[in-house]
């Protein structure tokens, strides 16, 4: 993950997703822009699971990745899960 503080002129690396991130990364923001969410598919043997993390400081630092499922299939699944997480965050 990278962030920019100068409208994209330069980029700073903030994190490399740990483990075996295989594909389909996705990023989304809370409606007020204060929380950045990211998810990806993680390969574990022959299974692919979904995991996510969030940043509370515009992507400068990230919480540890959290597994949502140990099996899943595609990015549409990630988007669905992230929408559920966003909805739960807004209800808190």
The most confident of the ranges 6-10, 14-18, 46-50 is 6-10
| pLDDT value at residue 53 | 87
Tokens of 75: 């990015």
Q: pLDDT at residue 69 above 60?
A: yes
pLDDT confidence tier of residue 9, bands split at 50, 70 and 90? very high
Rounding to the nearest 10 degrees, give the CA dihedral for residues 73, 58, 55, 87. -70
pLDDT confidence tier of residue 10, bands split at 50, 70 and 90? very high
Q: pLDDT at residue 47 above 70?
A: yes
Note the pLDDT tens digit of each residue in 23-35: 777 888 888 888 8
Pairing of strands 66-69, 36-44: unpaired
- Higher pLDDT pick, 64 / 71: 64
Q: What is the mean pLDDT of residues 81-92?
A: 70
Total residues belonging to the chain: 92
Of 12, 23, 22, 16, the residue nearest 64 (C-alpha):
16
């Amino acid at each position: 993950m990278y962030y920019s503080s100068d409208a994209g002129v330069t980029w700073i690396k903030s994190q490399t997703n740990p483990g075996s991130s295989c594909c389909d990364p996705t990023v989304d923001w809370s409606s007020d822009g204060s929380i950045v969410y990211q998810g990806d598919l993680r390969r574990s043997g022959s299974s692919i699971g979904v995991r996510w993390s969030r940043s509370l400081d515009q992507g400068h630092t990230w919480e540890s990745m959290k597994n949502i499922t140990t099996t899943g299939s595609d990015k549409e699944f990630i988007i669905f899960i992230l929408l559920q997480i966003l909805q739960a965050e807004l209800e808190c």
